[in-house]
């Protein structure tokens, strides 16, 4: 069974840092691009970041709202995805999902984790 399980969420003060993890299983991890997508309470889906698979060199891209503060990375040997979040702001409060790309960016995200909650508050 293809599965993604996020962890690492919590409560942090503005300006603080947090590292999210996403453990993957059931597919050839290094072959697939992965995304982080977030959802603020009661709001819609907002894409955060993408990291390409091994074949595409693991290149990364970010939403304007997090560029320079967040870093996406992956460890193919541990089949894990990460999101290092620095200089957190109150508007970063959200449920953070990791999602697997379908096999091509063009085909959307076919597997999602259950999410991990990040709350930025003083």
The correct pick among 11, 13, 45, 91 for binding other proteins (CB under 8 A) is: 45
| 41 contributes a contact to other proteins by CB under 8 A | no
- Provide the 8-state DSSP code for 87: S
Residues 53 to 72 in contact with other proteins, rule: CB under 8 A? 61, 63
One DSSP character per residue, 13-48 reads -TT--EEEEEEEESS-GGGS-EEEEEE-TT--EEEE
| 38 contributes a contact to other proteins by CB under 8 A | no
When the beta carbons of 63 and 71 are compared against other proteins, the nearer one is 63
The token pair that represents 22 in the structure block = 């996403």
Q: Report CA 119 to chain centroid distance, whole Å.
A: 15
Whole-number Å distance between alpha carbons of 114 and 65: 23
When the beta carbons of 16 and 103 are compared against other proteins, the nearer one is 103
First to last CA, the chain: 40
When the beta carbons of 65 and 84 are compared against other proteins, the nearer one is 65
Q: 85, 78, 89, 81: which is closest to 109 by C-alpha?
A: 81
| 23 contributes a contact to other proteins by CB under 8 A | no
When the beta carbons of 64 and 122 are compared against other proteins, the nearer one is 64
| 113 contributes a contact to other proteins by CB under 8 A | yes
Binding region for other proteins (CB under 8 A) = 35, 37, 44-47, 50, 61, 63, 97, 99, 102, 105-110, 112-115
């Amino acid at each position: 069974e293809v599965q993604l399980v996020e962890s690492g969420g919590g409560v942090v003060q503005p300006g603080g840092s947090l590292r999210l993890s996403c453990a993957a299983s059931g597919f050839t991890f290094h072959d697939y691009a992965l995304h982080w997508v977030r959802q603020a309470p009661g709001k819609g889906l907002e894409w955060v970041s993408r990291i390409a698979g091994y074949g595409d060199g693991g290149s990364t891209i970010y939403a304007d709202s997090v560029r320079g503060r967040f870093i996406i990375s992956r460890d193919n040997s541990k089949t894990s995805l990460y999101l290092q979040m620095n200089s957190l702001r109150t508007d970063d409060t959200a449920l953070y999902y990791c999602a697997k790309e379908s096999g091509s960016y063009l085909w959307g995200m076919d597997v999602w984790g259950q999410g991990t909650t990040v709350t930025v508050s003083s």
